[in-house]
Amino acid sequence: MTEPYQDLANAIILMAVKDYRDALKKLKKRPKYGPAQDIKNEVERFFRSDWYRELTSVDGNVLIKKLQAEVSE
């Protein structure tokens, strides 16, 4: 992948990580909060998608587990 495209791919993934982390923090305070649950589910689908695998070689399931562990500390 050329550099500008790689920069874009990285930005997409970083935004998903931020959104996922924020949703997990909200769910930690309010486990039944619908909007945060929707974002969490949407980002998890993205991390497991073919498109995500096109953007990076980082395993999406590993990333999900690391982010969940980070927020639960």
pLDDT, residue 1, reads 52
pTM: 0.92
- CB–CB of 57/7 below 8 Å? no
Number of domains, the chain: 1
Residues of the chain with pLDDT under 50: none
Residue 52 in tokens: 């995500």
The domain containing residue 36 runs over which residues? 3-72
Q: How many CB atoms lie within 10 A of CB 60?
A: 19
pLDDT, residue 73, reads 84
